[in-house]
Chains A and B, each alone.
Chain A
Amino acid sequence: MHSDIAGGPIGEVVVGLTDVRKEYSDSVALDGVSLEIRAGEAVAVMGPSGSGKSTLLNLVAGLDRPTSGSVAVHGEDLGRLSETGLALFRRRRIGMVFQFFNLLDDLPALDNVALAAQLTGTKAPQARRRALELLDELGVAGRRDTYPAQLSGGERQRVAVARALVNRPALLLADEPTGALDSRSGEQVMDLLLDLNQIGQTLLLVTHDQRLATRCASRVVEVVDGRIARESAVARS
Chain B
Amino acid sequence: MNAVWRVARAAVRRRMLQTVVIGVVVWVSAATVVMALGLLASSAAPFDRAHDEQRGAHLAAVFDSSAVDRLAGTSGRAGVEAAAGPYALAGVEAADGGGFGVAGELTAVGRADPAGAVDRVTVWSGRWVGGPGEIVLNLPPGAPVAPGRVVDLAGGGSVTVVGLAFSVSQTADAWVTPEQATAWGSTASQMLYRLVDHATAADISRGEASVSTGLPLLGTQSYLAVKQRFSQEAGVYVPFLTVFGALGLAVAVLSVANLVSGAVVAGYRHIGVLKALGYTPNQVMAVYLVMVTAPAVVGTALGVCTGDLVGGPLVRDAVEGFGVADTGVPWWVDLAVLVGMPALVAVVALLPALRARRQPAAAAISAGSRPGARRAPRVQRALSGTRLPRSVSLGLGVPFARPARSALTAAAVVLGVATVTLAVGVTLSVTAFRDAANPTRANQVDVMAAVPGGTPADGPDDPLSELAPRLGDAQDEAVLRAAPGVLGVVASSQQLVRLVGGNETHVVRFYRGDASAVRPRVWAGAWPARGGEVAVSAKFLTQTGLALGDTTTLEQRGKRVPVRIVGVVLENVTGSVLGTWETLESLLPGSRATAYQVTLDPDADRDAFARAVAAGDPGIRVTPPRGGTSSQAVVIISTATLLTLLLGGIAALGVFNTVVLNTRERRRDLGVLKSVGMTPRQVTSMVVTSMAGLGLVGGLIGLPLGMVVHRVVVHAAAPINSPDLLLSVVPDLLLSVYDAPTLVLLPLAGVGIAVLGALVPARRAARMTIAAALRSE
Contacts and interface: CB of A to CB of B under 8 A. Distances in A.
Q: How extensive is the interface on chain B, given as a class?
A: 35 or more
A104 B679 contact: no
Contacts of A115: 384, 390, 394, 673, 676
B677 A167 contact: yes
Nearest to A82: B680
B668 interface: yes
Contacts of A90: 674-677
A42 B377 CA distance: 37
Interface string A151-188: 00000000000010001000000000000000000000
Contact of A100 (B377, B682, B777): B777
A30 B682 CA distance: 31
A148 to B, nearest CB: 7
Given A90-B677, A105-B373, 8 more contacts: A63-B675, A83-B679, A87-B680, A87-B682, A105-B374, A118-B384, A147-B373, A148-B373
Interface of A: 55, 58, 61, 63-64, 83-84, 87-88, 90-92, 96, 98, 100, 102-108, 111, 114-116, 118-120, 123-124, 147-149, 163, 167
B610 interface: no
Given A58-B771, A64-B771, A118-B390, A83 B680 contact: yes
Q: What is the predominant secondary structure among interface residues of chain B facing chain A?
A: helix
A108 B767 CA distance: 27
B668 A102 contact: yes
A108 B386 contact: no
Given A64-B769, A111-B384, A115-B390, A102 B377 contact: no
Contact of A107 (B380, B681, B770): B380
B588 interface: no
Interface of B: 370, 373-377, 380-381, 384-387, 390-391, 394, 397, 401, 668-669, 671-682, 766-767, 769-771, 774, 777
18 contacts: A63-B771, A83-B679, A90-B674, A91-B677, A92-B677, A96-B675, A102-B668, A102-B672, A104-B669, A105-B373, A106-B377, A115-B390, A115-B673, A115-B676, A118-B384, A118-B390, A119-B391, A119-B673
Contacts of B678: 87, 119
A207 B679 CA distance: 28
A107 B668 CA distance: 14
Nearest to A106: B380
A195 B118 CA distance: 103
B676 A111 contact: no
A84 B681 contact: yes
Contacts of B385: 124
A124 B767 contact: no
B676 A149 contact: no
**Quick one: which of A55, A61, A91, A106 has the most chain B CB within 10 A?**
A106
Contact of B377 (A114, A118, A147): A147
A114 B384 CA distance: 9
A53 B502 CA distance: 98
Contacts of A61: 675
A167 B675 CA distance: 13
Contacts of B676: 90-91, 96, 115-116, 119, 163
Q: 3 closest pairs, A vs B, by CB?
A: A91-B677, A105-B373, A87-B679
A167 B319 CA distance: 70
Nearest to A125: B385
Contacts of A118: 384, 390
Contacts of B777: 100, 102
A71 to B, nearest CB: 14
**Quick one: which of B380, B386, B675 has the most chain A CB within 10 A?**
B675
A148 B680 CA distance: 26
Contacts of B677: 87-88, 90-92, 116, 119-120, 167
B679 A106 contact: no
Contacts of A55: 771
B771 A106 contact: no
Nearest to B766: A83
**Quick one: which of B387, B390, B668, B671 has the most chain A CB within 10 A?**
B390
A167 B676 CA distance: 10
Nearest to B672: A102
A102 B774 contact: yes
Contacts of B672: 102-104
Contact of A106 (B376, B766, B770): B376
B377 A88 contact: no
A167 B678 CA distance: 13
A92 to B, nearest CB: 8
Nearest to B674: A87
A50 B467 CA distance: 94
Nearest to B769: A64
Given A116-B677, A118-B390, A106 B384 contact: no
Contacts of A92: 677
Nearest to A111: B384
Contacts of B380: 106-107, 111
A159 to B, nearest CB: 12
A83 B376 contact: no
**Quick one: which of B380, B387, B677 has the most chain A CB within 10 A?**
B677
Contact of A88 (B381, B669, B675, B679): B679
**Quick one: which of A61, A87, A123 has the most chain B CB within 10 A?**
A87
Contacts of B770: 58, 63-64
Nearest to A118: B390
B678 to A, nearest CB: 6
A221 B401 CA distance: 43
Contacts of B673: 104, 115, 119
B373 A106 contact: yes
Contacts of B771: 55, 58, 63-64
Contacts of B668: 102
Contacts of B381: 107-108, 111
Nearest to B374: A147
A124 B384 contact: yes
A228 B244 CA distance: 69
Contacts of A100: 777
A98 B776 CA distance: 13
Contacts of A104: 669, 672-673
A134 to B, nearest CB: 14
A114 B676 CA distance: 11
B390 A119 contact: yes
A103 B777 CA distance: 12
**Quick one: which of A61, A83, A88, A123 has the most chain B CB within 10 A?**
A83
A111 B766 CA distance: 22
A6 B770 CA distance: 25
Given A88-B677, A147-B377, A102 B671 contact: yes
Contacts of B387: 123-124
A105 B771 CA distance: 19
A229 to B, nearest CB: 23
A148 B679 CA distance: 24
A98 B766 CA distance: 21
Contacts of A58: 770-771
A74 B605 CA distance: 76
B768 to A, nearest CB: 10
